[in-house]
Structure 1
Amino acid sequence: INLRSADVPEKCYLPKKQLHVWTGHTKGVSAIRLFPVSAHLLLSCSMDCKIKLWEVYNDRRCARTFIGHSKAVRDVCFNNTGTQFLSAAYDRYLKLWDSETGQCIARFTNRKVPYCVKFNPDEDKQSLFVAGMSDKKIVQVPNREPSVSVYRAAWNLRTFVSQSDSSIQRDIPVDFKYIAEPSMHSMPAVTLSPNGKWLACQSMDNQILIFGAQNRFRLNKKKIFKGHMVAGYACQVDFSPDMSYVVSGDADGKLNIWDWKTTKLYHRIKAHDKVCISALWHPHETSKVITCGWDGQIKLWD
């Protein structure tokens, strides 16, 4: 497998068995993220206040532990090259880390709890990132300046308006589509499909809803994935790299796999003793899925 290649596996298959367990976190794991492009490393954050970087291949050892947060870490996010990553924790701090040295480069707070954090995806805007805060606001933070811009609207990662402010170019995200229907439930987790065409949203009424991510942002009523129990948990959804399958954990600790075309629930695996909060399909592998749970374990399936 060429980890540097951008090519997608031609055909993916259902994972059947447990291949490996990464152990080291002493409390529940909140989120896992694969290293950009190569996916040879795995970043995890936990309620034990620690962030760990694991090898996905070879000995699958823990390469580094990042210590610096005083409360549970809720989310992590790599930049486009993987040289740095961000963390968001209940100690009300967002921290920027150097992936290689383990150093904390910068820290930010507006005295609210950050729930999620994301780098700007554009290559020339890697110094900007956004975080969703506990006061229902989204803040945009420039890496190298202490100022914090606040937005009350949902942010589409690809839509920007450039505005000149005292001769400094600033990028102001604009809320370009707002969807609210009486029947809609809270959607605490969203994933963009590998082909960039769809957004998979975990809905609190035990369904995964699919929205078109291009041009007209609207619900695809033919693609609704059911059969799992997630009520109350922000279980992260993912796609297989060839777009054949949709995967998600659930409240019972199970890994659920649906067929993308027919929306049929194909396979359920008892993956964790507590909530299975995230499932990631390895972008270069035909049948390797990584799950993490509130039992503190991270598992590799094949």
Structure 2
Amino acid sequence: MALTSAKGKIPTGYAEEVALSESTFRSQYRAREAIEGPPSKKRKREGKGDSSVVYGAGAYKGPWAKYEEERPDASSEEEVEVEVEYEEDELEPQPEAPTKAGTAYEDDGSGKESTEFHGTEMYDYQGRTYMHVPQDLDIDLKGDLAGLKNYVPKKLIHTWKSHTKPITQIRFLPDSGHLLLSASADGKVKIWDVYHQRELLRTYSGHNKLVSDIDFNNDGRQFLSASYDRQMKLWDTEYGKCLNKFTTGKTPHVLRFNPDPSLNHEFIAGMSDKKIVQFDTRSGELVQEYDHHLGAINTLTFCDDNRRFISTSDDKSLRAWEYGIPVPIKFIAEPYMYPMVRSAPHPSGKYVAFQSSDNQIVVYAATDRFRQNRKKGFRGHNNAGYAIDVAISPDGDIVTSGDSAGFVCFWDWKTGKMWHKIQASDGAVVACAWHPRETSKVVTGALDGTLKYWD
């Protein structure tokens, strides 16, 4: 059978009829096309037109002129190649290929943990480290706390300076308070002597970004650190060894050990992806996940004899949970509420104070109803734009907060009246903590990286 071209004039050869399945034909066709390439087409661009003509025939098209598609002249057996000129503004910039550094959080250098001892001597004459509670002081750091009465501090007695970037969190060693732990935006955690020479004792290095939170376990022999490098690490307080690492791939904002003695090996962490996660420090495994918030988690506070905890978030809500059960037992979200960025439980166990983003401290009940106590509100400071800490004195009578103008403020718990205001820094004071056993000792941390001890 004779085959002719589309115009029916030129004989193009003869072909025998062959029985060929469609799939065989397609595979052979693709194989031939891969060798010879697709049929060439001559591409020619329309004229750009006259720049003086706006509408109608011959109007100016410029770089928007289209391409005409024509088949090669049938009388010509050779293919005609036409160079197509592209305008510069037609070429779109190609996005750069993603690099591993932009997507991987494991290899960001945060895996290298180290520690350095800065103290005068590692051991005393009896071979004890700085973890030993000193007995040669005019205050008993091991006795009963009953009868402790707190007063507002008046003067600065010491300044610690070693961090190179803003302080983010400070914690006294539980019960005795003879050591002070500080975290900073420089990625370091440091521990300081509160008595004797008041020197820097040890630096814990293992994060390469801002350390967002730290928390001691019950006896203070271990502590957790959370960082914007998406890692949470468990440290040995005494020797500085990193004991374990935890991550979900998201940024942890806040973490808390469970204070219950039988569950002190577990901790919860509030993450940037709206979840609260629960880890076991012995196995390193994620054991529970609380996923109901609609924004990043800001605070976690244990209450009701540590059977429950309260969480707040950027979604301007408060939720209460039974520990280990991932369904909230209470949800509070009112139109007048603002995000609550820091929290402090009252020593009585009945209330929790929250630093609200509308320049006030609000109080909620820590019992079954979790209602806001409208009679208790503490105002007069400015916290807008900062996650400023709030602290309550060990006797429960004084509420303390930093201020974005560099003050540290003190209120009476019962009346809500501001007692005193101290200019503690030129920049914002973002961290504060009461000594657990002294009558009027408070530590503040500021954006300039300094820690100040007040009495």
Give the TM-score range, shorter chain.
over 0.9
What is residue 242 of structure 2 aligned with on the other side?
104
Pair 1:206-2:354 in alignment: no
Deviation at 1:275, TM superposition (A): 1.4
Deviation of residue 124 (structure 1)? 0.8
Closer, same or farther in 2 for the Cα pair 1:25/1:9, shift >3 Å? farther
Shift of 1:105: 0.5
What SS class does the counterpart of residue 182 from structure 1 fall into? coil
Letter in 1 for 2:371: R
Unaligned runs of 5+ in 2: 1-138, 294-299, 309-322
Cα separation, 2, equivalents of 1:106 and 1:156 = 23
Structure-2 change in CA distance of 1:156 and 1:173 (3 Å): farther
Among 138, 143, 152, which residue is 2:291 paired with?
A: 152
Aligned match of 2:266 = 128
For the residues of structure 2 that align with 1:20 and 1:284, how far apart are their CA atoms? 18
* Letter of the structure 2 residue corresponding to residue 270 of structure 1: Q
CA–CA distance in structure 2, aligned partners of residues 59 and 146 of structure 1: 38
Distance 2:424 2:146 in 1: 26
2:87 aligns with none
More helix per residue: 2
For residues 5 and 57 of structure 1, the distance between their equivalents in structure 2, rounded to whole angstroms, comes to: 17
Could you list the per-position Cα deviations for residues 169-196 of structure 1 after superposition, in whole angstroms to 9, with x for gaps in the alignment?
x943552211110100000101101121
Aligned residue in 1 for 2:435:
282
* 2:191 matches 1:53: yes
The letter for the 1-side match of 2:342 is A
Name the SS of the counterpart of 1:19 in structure 2.
strand
Does the 8 Å contact 1:198/1:212 carry over to 2?
A: yes
Q: What's the counterpart of residue 409 of structure 2?
A: 256
CA deviation digits over 1:113-160, x for unaligned, max 9? Answer: 101111011101122111110111111111123432321147763336
After superposition, the Cα gap between the structure-2 partners of 1:156 and 1:85, relative to the gap in structure 1 and judged at 3 Å, is closer
Deviation track 1:281-300 (CA, whole Å, cap 9, x = no partner) reads 11211111110011100000
Aligned counterpart, 2:371 = 218
Question: Which letter maps to 1:92?
Answer: R
Letter in 2 for 1:280: A
| Length-normalised TM-score, structure 2 | 0.62
Partner of 1:67: 205
Q: CA deviation at 1:5?
A: 2.1
Superposed CA deviations along residues 194-248 of structure 1, whole A, max 9, x for unmatched, are 1212100000000100111123211111110000000121211111222221100
Q: Report the residue type matching 1:31 in the other structure.
A: Q
Secondary structure of 2:215 counterpart: strand
Q: What CA distance in whole angstroms lies between the structure 2 residues aligned with 1:264 and 1:188?
A: 22
Structure 1 residues 42-96: Cα deviation after superposition (integer angstroms, max 9, x where no partner): 1001111100001111111111100111111111000001010000001100000
**Does structure 2 conserve the Cα–Cα contact (< 8 Å) formed by 1:79 and 1:119?**
yes
Rounded Cα–Cα distance in structure 2 between residues aligned with 1:146 and 1:242: 36
CA distance in 1, matches of 2:216, 2:430: 19
Q: 3-state SS of the aligned residue for 2:332?
A: coil
Match of 1:291 in 2: 444
2:418 is the alignment partner of 1:265: yes
* SS of residue paired to 1:200: strand
Quick check: 1:32 aligned with 2:185?
no
2:214 maps to 76
CA distance in 2, matches of 1:146, 1:301: 39
CA contact (8 A) 1:159 1:174 kept: no
The one-letter code sitting in structure 1 at the alignment partner of 2:189 is I
Residue 22 of structure 1, aligned match among 148, 160, 163: 160
Question: Which residue of 2 is the match for residue 184 of structure 1?
Answer: 337
Paired with 1:156 and 1:76, the residues of 2 have a C-alpha distance of 14
8 Å Cα contact 1:237-1:249 kept in structure 2: yes
CA contact (8 A) 1:9 1:285 kept: no
CA contact (8 A) 1:45 1:74 kept: yes
SS of aligned partner of 2:325: strand
SS at match of 1:176: strand
Give the Cα separation in 2 of the matches to 1:71 and 1:156: 25
CA RMSD of aligned residues (A): 1.6
Is this contact kept in 2: 1:199–1:211, CA < 8 A? Answer: yes
Determine helix, strand or coil for the equivalent of 2:176. Answer: coil
Q: Which residues of structure 1 form unaligned runs of 5+?
A: 161-169
Q: Which has the higher contact order (CA 8 A, sep 6+)?
A: 1
Q: Distance in 1 between matches of 2:220 and 2:264?
A: 11
Read off the aligned partner of 1:106 and give its amino acid letter: N
* Rounded Cα–Cα distance in structure 1 between residues aligned with 2:198 and 2:448: 19
Structure 1's 39 and 80: CA in aligned 2 closer, same or farther, altered over 3 A? same
Say which SS state the counterpart of residue 82 (structure 1) adopts. coil
CA distance in 2, matches of 1:9, 1:248: 24
1:14 Cα deviation from its structure 2 partner: 1.5
Residue among 233, 251, 255 paired with 1:117: 255
Equivalent residues, number:
293
User: 1:248 is paired with a residue of what secondary structure?
Assistant: strand
Residue type at the aligned position of 1:266:
W
Q: Percent identity?
A: 49
Pair 277,9 (structure 1): closer, same or farther in 2 beyond 3 Å: farther
